[in-house]
Structure 1
Amino acid sequence: MDRRAGTPTIDAELARRRVDTQFPRWADLRLRLLDPAGSDHVIYRLGEELTVRLPRHTGAITQVRKEAEWLPRLAPHLPLAVPEPVAVGEPDFGYPWSWAVSRWLPGEVATVEGLSESHEAAGALAGFLAALHRFDAEPAEDLLTAGGRLSAVIDFGELGVGDPARDLVIACTLMSAGTRATFRAALDVDDPTWTRGRGRALETGLNAYVAHAAVNPRVAAQTTRQITQALAG
């Protein structure tokens, strides 16, 4: 446990022990760290078909069981792939939170360089959100691509009922002015909702920059772009 931060120290030994003791049927599968991963979870690939996700902090600990409950219900009704939960691990051996095993989704993490000018991707994401909103739920903005096209949405940490403007943050993290227009038109977003989305993008970008940019150049570049695009509209 990192007592200064109040969070557990997560390493390969801890992850291996979690798998081997709670799911011994996977004890022979190779465990490989995925880096970079998100700010909420440490992620390991388990064999060729699975991933292990361990929450990093208390703000992420409700995601495991929420995703296990809701993603199987949502998946048949969505036009893009989403993670398939396989098992939920329990706290033990000093690790205090539930953790998840899911199916591996092939693809590459979406990048500004790859998708910012893709009107096809903007339309596909708008279609995904339109389908998801019929369930009154919202995703976060981590995405996968395959063959230059949007293929999956993988981060549902903020899944829940709320203001649909929160879904618009992705327009400032990944898109350009032109593809934002395509995205907005496809979703038929009104001015107040769009403005709230820009405000959310500005808020989260500033918070992430302050928290991480000094030690992570990748986050610095991403959040600087997010802030700039949110201000630009």
Structure 2
Amino acid sequence: MPMHEDQLDITTDQVRALLKEQAPAWAHGPIAALPTSGTVNSIFRVGKDHTARFPLRPDRPAVVAARLERDVAAMIEFSQASPFPAPIPVLRGRPGHRFPLPWSLQTWLPGEVATPRSHEASDQFAADLATLIVALRSQDTKGRTFTGTGRGGALTDHDEWVQLCIERSEGLLDTRAMSRLWNRFRELPRRGPDVMSHTDLIPANLLVVRDRLAGVLDTGDFQAADPALDLVSVWHLLDAPRRAILRAYVGSDDLEWERGRAWAFQQAAGLVWYYEKTNPTMADLGRTTLCRLFTEES
């Protein structure tokens, strides 16, 4: 079952045809669709060293091309800022062979994808995650501030979305608890300037090897945002003792910590009802994160 009603599909034969036409050096090795929980792109492994990413949702080609151009710049900047490996952009592909949108090729990173509970009790993983957040925050914003409508600006901008999520979650989650949390979260004031942020530190975007963070994926949205935004990771990935380790390392005060909880709630609130049948991995992330947020509140 597709995750989105308007989802675009692409086959390995189409991927190979696009590569033969636009990147022939990488067209003759194995090509395999990757079974990921990603919600934005179809991802294919190309040979041993690359991945190709194809947008899942329709859009105007010019809009996608402009977004890919911004992504490439952000990915390069992130790779230079991060103490952990990140993919490097290799190619921006053109539409063709019945795929209507631009696409991208980037380097492959080794490691296993983290899950909401795989490393929740790891002191070392918590310390690595804290190291990443602090390193990103230390980068120069070059005068940039948050722009757009996604997570990272004003919490109250998300009232309509969160209310929809609460309504759609009836029978799936404790919607009264959700309403109580959001009514408090949305009133949290904002202090401090924007900092550089990955903006989507969910388990699917973190690679691990044994007990260590080994790589960071989906870095194309690296931008200036609310300093609390990357704290979503602690609610997506860590148990209470490990959250305390990360908080001590990062140095978050009470307000920043609560705003991190608020952003994690805003993200998790939409995962269960939207992906319950089409993407169980994302739905499970929503449940796990909300459970941690509810438990912390009690």
TM-score of the two chains, using structure 1 as the length reference? 0.89
Identity of aligned residues (%): 28
Instruction: Find the partner of 1:65 among 61, 69, 74.
Output: 69
Q: CA deviation at 1:7?
A: 4.3
Aligned residues: 231
* Deviation of 1:194 (Å): 1.3
Partner of 1:210, secondary structure, is helix
Please give the per-residue CA displacement for 1:100-154, whole angstroms capped at 9, x wherever unaligned: 1111100000123431011111111111111111233211221001133111111
| Letter of the structure 2 residue corresponding to residue 95 of structure 1 | F
> Aligned equivalents of 2:68 and 2:32: distance in 1?
20
For 1:72 and 1:137, locate their aligned partners in 2 and report how far apart those are by CA, in whole Å. 14
* Ranges in structure 2 where 5+ consecutive residues have no aligned partner: 140-194
Question: Which residue, out of 108, 112, 116, partners 1:108?
Answer: 112
Counterpart contact for 1:164–1:193, Cα < 8 Å: yes
In the alignment, which residue of structure 1 is the partner of 2:248? Answer: 185
Counterpart selection for 1:206 from 252, 269, 273? 269
Quote the offset at 1:36 in angstroms: 2.1
Q: Kindly indicate whether the alpha-carbon contact (under 8 Å) linking 1:198 and 1:231 is maintained by their aligned counterparts in 2.
A: no
SS across alignment from 2:270: helix
1:138 aligned partner: 197
2:56 corresponds in structure 1 to 56
Q: Deviation per CA, 1:53-109, whole angstroms, max 9, x where unpaired? A: 112125894653233113223323321111111111123344333211111100000
Ranges in structure 1 where 5+ consecutive residues have no aligned partner: none
The code of the aligned residue for 1:137 comes to M
Superposition pairs for residues 149-188 of structure 1, below 5 Å?
A: 149-188=212-251
The 3-state SS of whatever aligns with 1:164 is coil
The equivalent residue for 2:282 is 219
- Residues 156 and 230 (structure 1), Cα distance of their counterparts in 2 relative to 1, 3 Å cut: farther
CA distance in 2, matches of 1:38, 1:53: 11
Which stretch of the first structure deviates more once superposed, 21-30 or 170-179? 21-30
Larger Rg: 2
CA RMSD of aligned residues (A): 2.2
